[in-house]
Amino acid sequence: MSWRDTDFAVMGIVNVTPDSFSDGGRYLHTAAAVAHGLELVRTGAAILDVGGESTRPGALPVSEADELSRVLPVIEGLRAAGAGAQISIDTSKAAVAAAALRAGATLVNDVSALRADPAMAELVASCDADCCLMHMLGEPRTMQRDPHYDEVVSDVKAFLERRMAFAVAHGVAEERILLDPGIGFGKTLAHNLELLCRLDELAALGRPLVIGTSRKSFLGRLTGSPVEDRLAATIATNVIAYERGARVFRVHDVGPVRDALAITAATVNRRWAQTTPMSTTTPTR
């Protein structure tokens, strides 16, 4: 299964890191990460996004060797277990992406949108891999230092259009490209809300939009909830994003988000896949 096969796809997060903002250290060991990935698939993930370097604000860079040692055993383990989901590698390093693709990944999720490593575009093209191009102002260490835009939606749209043109010019097939506005990556709370409100303008670029709001700090600022209590806020932003044209949803809590999106899709599009037998009993109030 991949993002092509369904009306929407949930991308489950598999952070193999000690310092990610929400679940850093929980899945640092290969067995735990593989088990977590398989559980995400069981609850509805069509994509597993495996990452070995945190991109939270202020995170320190990770060496190529460390990143490889974290992600490769997990990708190999998921493939050996027959995970049944598309495997994505969350990296901006071409060498890490190349090894991950050889190990079984088929999607490169590059938060730099092919800017960090000059070899990445050619690699993606030569491997016929899918790729996600994300908008980020600056880089993770500095992106939240007073982010400024002339007009955030127009600026992000122009950036994504340029990066898509760059990828295509370097041999990446347009039908393999997904676009991510980078919620929380060099954006204020107001920027994030404006992007969510006007996602339809980015959907007009003609490629599937990936949205990553899961447990992020702007949700905490709005609700006052700590990171572990932001599921309801995450679901709300994903439902809004779907209604405005997003189709891939990168989250920690796959099952609840998948259920919310299934109801939203059935309501908005008047179609759905039956996943359980229809009851023959009289419904209760």
Instruction: Please state, in angstroms and as integers, the Cα–Cα distance from residue 71 to each residue in 1, 3, 12, 96, 134, following that order.
Output: 21, 22, 15, 9, 20
Q: Amino acid identity of 212?
A: G
Do residues 101 and 129 lie in contact, with contact meaning Cβ atoms separated by under 8 Å? yes
From CA 122, how far away is CA 51, in angstroms rounded? 21
Do residues 11 and 213 lie in contact, with contact meaning Cβ atoms separated by under 8 Å? no
Do residues 76 and 32 lie in contact, with contact meaning Cβ atoms separated by under 8 Å? no
Q: Is 250 a catalytic residue?
A: yes
Strand ordering across the sheet containing 248-251: 177-180, 130-134, 107-110, 86-90, 47-51, 9-15, 248-251, 210-211
Identify the burial level of 94 via C-beta atoms within 10 angstroms of its C-beta, where 0-12 means exposed, 13-18 middle and 19 or more buried: buried
How many other C-beta atoms can be found within 10 angstroms of the C-beta atom of residue 158?
A: 13
The tokens describing 274, both together, are: 């039956």
From CA 58, how far away is CA 139, in angstroms rounded? 9
Q: Which of 163, 176, 250, 258 is catalytic?
A: 250
Q: Which of 56, 163, 176, 216 is catalytic?
A: 216
Q: Is 187 a catalytic residue?
A: no
From CA 54, how far away is CA 197, in angstroms rounded? 27
Do residues 184 and 194 lie in contact, with contact meaning Cβ atoms separated by under 8 Å? no
Residues belonging to the active site: 216, 250
